[in-house]
Amino acid sequence: MCSPGSGQFNPSTLDVETVKLVHAERSNNNKQSQIVVEMQIKEKHCNQLGNLHGGCAASLLDNITSIGLYFHTSGVFGDPWSLLGVSQSINIQYLAPAPLGSWIDIETQVVAVGKTVSLMTCEIWTKDGPGKDAKRLVKTSIGTHTKIDNSYQAKM
């Protein structure tokens, strides 16, 4: 756990009580998908300045973009993408702070899913309150996530 002043972030603080699904959809051709989740920034998500910790933002990007891959699996262990792959690269740019108490949207898009490589993008926005009707205010970070399918290992 973290409080302003410690600068420590524990990824286990991102749980179903913290992150709520706002929207999810998959394209008709099953090649792309989008997920939007929301959360309120608590002390446990903050750096010593009282803003969303960069490690927390990176963990959100990693985990929420990976959830989008569920739309592109058969659900059968060992089939392509059934293990959701392993990260090849995660790139994030921090654009503005997201202060303690802020509500944020984490919007992820699965841009492409191939036989071995997938590409996802993520934007984190502050907004004026909870729910899908809340107005987005400031884009705080953007990023990309590339994954490699490792499901073939399940058949070994």
pLDDT, tens digit (0-9, with 9 covering 90-100), for 84-135: 999 999 999 999 999 999 999 999 999 999 999 999 999 999 999 999 899 9
Strand partners, 147: 87, 118
Predicted local confidence at residue 2, as pLDDT: 43
Among residues 79, 152, 72, 59, the alpha carbon closest in space to that of 109 is found at: 72
Task: Please give the full DSSP string across 16-53, using - where no structure is assigned.
Answer: TTT-EEEEEEE-TTSS-EEEEEEEE--GGGB-TTSBB-
Q: Give the residue, 14 or 125, on which the prediction is more confident.
A: 125
**In which residue are the tokens 């929420």 written?**
64
| Average pLDDT value for residue range 9-20 | 67
DSSP classification of residue 7: -
Q: Output 13 or 52, whichever has higher pLDDT.
A: 52
Q: Which of 98, 101, 104 is nearest to 20 (CA)?
A: 104
Segment 51-97, tens digit of pLDDT: 999 999 999 999 999 999 988 988 888 899 999 999 999 999 999 99
Residue 2 included in any domain = no
| Closest-CA residue to 137 (of 100, 105, 109) | 105
Of the candidates 75, 91, 93, the residue with the CA atom closest to the CA atom of residue 83: 75
The confidence score (pLDDT) of residue 146 equals: 98
125 part of a folded domain: yes
pLDDT given at position 3: 46
User: Is the confidence at residue 15, as pLDDT, over 70?
Assistant: no
User: Could you tell me the residue range of the domain that residue 97 belongs to?
Assistant: 11-155
Residue type, 11: P
Element spanning 123, H or E: strand 117-127
100, 41 contact by CB (below 8 A): yes
Q: Is residue 1 part of a domain?
A: no
pLDDT per position as a tens digit, 1-12: 444 445 555 555
**Number of structural domains the chain divides into:** 1
In a domain, 3, yes or no: no
Give me the pLDDT at residue 124, please.
98
Stated pTM of the model: 0.85
CATH number at residue 133: 3.10.129.10
- Residue 38 forms part of a structural domain: yes
**For residue 16, pLDDT beyond 70:** no
Is 6 inside any structural domain? Answer: no
For residues 31-40, average pLDDT:
93
58 or 14, greater pLDDT:
58
Q: Is residue 147 part of a domain?
A: yes
Task: Kindly state whether residue 74 falls inside one of the protein's structural domains.
Answer: yes
Exposure class string for 87-105: b at 16+ Cβ within 10 A, else e: eeebebebeebbebebbbb
